[in-house]
Amino acid sequence: MDLDLAVAQAHQAYAERNPRSAELHRRASTVMPGGNTRSVLHFEPFPFRVASAAGAELTDVDGHTYVDFLGNYTAGLFGHSPKVIADAVVEALGSGFALGATHATEIELAELLCARFDALERVRFTNSGTEANLMAIGTALHHTQKTGVGVFEGAYHGGVLSFGHGASHPLNVPHRFIVAPFDDLDGLDRLFADSDLGCVIVEAVQGAGGCIPASHEFLSELSRRCEKSGTVLILDEVMTSRLSPGGAQRLYGIRPDMMTLGKYLGGGMTFGAFGGRSEIMAHFDSAAGGVLTQAGTFNNNIVTMTAATTAISQLLDDDRLEEVNRRGDRLRRSLDETLRGGGLWVTGRGSMLTVHAADDRLLDLYFHAMLAAGHYLARRGFIALSFEIEDAHSERLQTDTADWIGRLEG
């Protein structure tokens, strides 16, 4: 098969099906560089524009409806527009917003999170997972009075903490990063050889890095070395906290010194949180002698605080969470079995998975074939299931994937 020709034909067919989205992309490109303000949402020849969303589905401005297998990169665990959250937010707005003051709902949310995650003895809020990771790193370095930040190849901890190409991303913040290979016991020697290593930040399953799970042995050894050396271990659970009722830390049997949260826990609103051991978080408590302060106009905004407390207390059912992860494991195994014959494969854990390809053109073809069949996943192959995705949706994706592989090989 001529892959370049096949990709060109797929792009042309997509463009012909989506004239309104094409028009809006041209308009957007005159006022926003690249035609968007979130780079990951772009794909060639242009992204579709959403007109409405409900449950497990998105409908675009050209009238096409897609089953949403992307789940807003794990932020959409509860599906689109759940009524219980919408109603709670509307009620909260009726009592005022942009308060510029403390309120009771933030206490309720903090209590819910500290009860849910073993590592959270104290917690503070931010507006995103990126902010949460920045605050956690800064707090850890202040606590240890050291400068080195241990990170792993392929990791993504936010728009200014991206290590897909080492520490050289031009937008990365200027910490002194020590980069080691992920899930490599020998690579830990590189980190801990640095006498000024203050903290290490890690995902148990690298999300943006391709849904690559760490081994239990690797995380256990990392935790042991951090404890022995007095290095603060930060577990980035912005994505992975959805993998079990107690997060990835419970799956792997580790207790980090600090952890970060974000995405789905905000109930669909902008959200982040960081916290951990009381003695570390006490640096923000002036009554305990702490000298750190945390700014953020919208850290405790009533919309997010209300949406999050509602989502956790009314929608985040442990049985449903465990089932969506089982469903993800089943889908990963079936897709991997189907795709391996065509030069693609699937990795992940639970409700987070990624389709990979030996040739990126194959991944582009798969992405566009699934769009044409009514399935939306990330252009890079990422899939994050929501509670609204049912077995029937997964079975249809599997059937359409098998049909595509048959045409590809034919």
Q: Tens digits of per-residue pLDDT, 229-268? A: 999 999 999 999 999 999 999 999 999 999 999 999 999 9
Alpha carbon dihedral 72, 76, 77, 82, in 10-degree steps, equals -160
**Beta 232-236 vs 65-68: how paired, if at all?**
unpaired
The predicted-structure confidence for 319-371, as pLDDT tens digits, reads as follows: 999 999 999 999 999 999 999 989 999 999 999 999 999 999 999 999 999 99
Q: Please report which residue ranges of 230-301 form alpha helices under DSSP H.
A: 248-252, 278-281
Asked whether residue 68 carries a pLDDT value surpassing 80, the answer given is yes
**Beta 212-213 vs 50-54: how paired, if at all?**
unpaired
Q: Domain 83-315: give its CATH code.
A: 3.40.640.10
Instruction: Find out whether 273 and 113 touch, Cβ atoms under 8 Å.
Output: yes
Distance CA 299, CA 310 (A): 17
- What percent of the chain has a predicted confidence (pLDDT) above 90? 98
Asked whether residue 409 carries a pLDDT value surpassing 90, the answer given is no
* Tally of helices (H runs) and strands (E runs) in the chain: 13, 17
Task: Name the amino acid, one letter, at 316.
Answer: L
Distance CA 298, CA 391 (A): 38
Residues forming a β-bridge with 272: 126, 262
| Largest pairwise CA distance in the chain | 71
The predicted-structure confidence for 384-400, as pLDDT tens digits, reads as follows: 999 999 999 999 999 99
- The CATH number for 3-77+318-409, chosen from 3.40.50.150, 3.90.1150.10, 3.40.50.12160, 3.90.180.10, is 3.90.1150.10
Give residue 236's pLDDT: 99
Domain boundaries, the chain: 3-77+318-409, 83-315
Identify the sign of the CA torsion 358, 359, 362, 367. Answer: positive
Distance CA 7, CA 19 (A): 19
Instruction: Find out whether 261 and 237 touch, Cβ atoms under 8 Å.
Output: yes
Query: With b meaning 16 or more CB within 10 Å and e meaning fewer, what string describes 217-249?
Result: ebbeebbebbeeeebbbbbbbbbbbbbbbebbb
Q: How many CA atoms lie within 13 A of 366 on its CB side?
A: 32
Distance CA 278, CA 373 (A): 51
Task: Name the amino acid, one letter, at 95.
Answer: S
- Tokens at 95, concatenated: 């009592």
CB atoms within 10 A of CB 297: 9
Query: With b meaning 16 or more CB within 10 Å and e meaning fewer, what string describes 342-354?
Result: bebbbbbbbbbbb
The predicted-structure confidence for 33-44, as pLDDT tens digits, reads as follows: 999 999 999 999
The predicted-structure confidence for 106-126, as pLDDT tens digits, reads as follows: 999 999 999 999 999 999 999
The predicted-structure confidence for 289-313, as pLDDT tens digits, reads as follows: 999 999 999 999 999 999 999 999 9
Give residue 165's pLDDT band: very low, low, confident or very high (50, 70, 90).
confident
CA 69 to chain centre: 14
Give residue 1's pLDDT: 86
CA distances for 386 relative to 120, 315, 396, angstroms: 25, 12, 16
Give residue 341's pLDDT: 85
Instruction: Find out whether 241 and 318 touch, Cβ atoms under 8 Å.
Output: no
Give residue 182's pLDDT: 98
**Which whole number is the average pLDDT over 5-28?**
98
Average pLDDT, the chain: 97
Asked whether residue 167 carries a pLDDT value surpassing 80, the answer given is no
The predicted-structure confidence for 75-108, as pLDDT tens digits, reads as follows: 999 999 999 999 999 999 999 999 999 999 999 9
